[in-house]
A and B are shown apart, each in its own frame.
Chain A
Amino acid sequence: GNSVTQMEGPVTLSEEAFLTINCTYTATGYPSLFWYVQYPGEGLQLLLKATKADDKGSNKGFEATYRKETTSFHLEKGSVQVSDSAVYFCALRRILTGNQFYFGTGTSLTVIP
């Protein structure tokens, strides 16, 4: 089947620290991979995506590389800011299943000054 596993939180970091949130997936075929972010009181927003192996998605200083060999799509940022405090969701979508998105459980990140 299709599923996404991401590291459990909560994660607390000091400002300017390096961030990694692990995400691995199980899927048949070639899914598209996504990271969504949910700021307090708001809906999920697309942060970045990658549609094929070795693609790197990037946005707002965040990066994630689609690794087919390790079935991973880890989220990284070199220097986090207080404004990055949010919940991050990893997700996959298999084109052949139409609209089905599979989400991870979310990882809460708190950045302290």
Chain B
Amino acid sequence: GAVVSQHPSRVICKSGTSVKIECRSLDFQATTMFWYRQFPKQSLMLMATSNEGSKATYEQGVEKDKFLINHASLTLSTLTVTSAHPEDSSFYICSAVPGGSAVNTQYFGPGTRLTVL
């Protein structure tokens, strides 16, 4: 089946630094990738939709200058948390939609746990 990986799985950083999270579709090309954020005991919240070769579409309330998304190829999207602060600590999950598939057919990565000290 379709596999999506995320790297790193866990990251701890100091306040003020930037952190890059990678999302890769390993055995298919993804024209669309999604980035979600999950707080403890809360639901996944869609942060942005990333389309290959174009600017990401951010959900209301998500700062595009803080959460930089780059979908440079059909198998890779990156989320960079710039100038991270403790309130950015969360579980970040990406998903990818194979080219030509309906959005319902999204495959999720295992997530990245970010802790900002």
The residues of A that contact B103 with a CB separation of less than 8 Å are 93, 99
Are B109 and A43 in contact, CB atoms less than 8 angstroms apart? Answer: yes
Are A49 and B104 in contact, CB atoms less than 8 angstroms apart? Answer: yes
- Is chain A's binding surface mostly helix, strand, loop or mixed? strand
CA distance A93 to B109 in the complex (A): 19
The residues of A that contact B111 with a CB separation of less than 8 Å are 43
How many chain B residues touch A (Cβ–Cβ < 8 Å)?
23
The residues of A that contact B54 with a CB separation of less than 8 Å are none
B residues at A contact (CB < 8 Å): 4, 32, 34, 36, 41-46, 49, 59, 93, 95, 103-111
- What are 11 of the A-B contact pairs (CB < 8 Å)? A4-B43, A32-B104, A34-B104, A43-B109, A49-B104, A89-B44, A99-B32, A99-B34, A99-B49, A99-B103, A101-B34
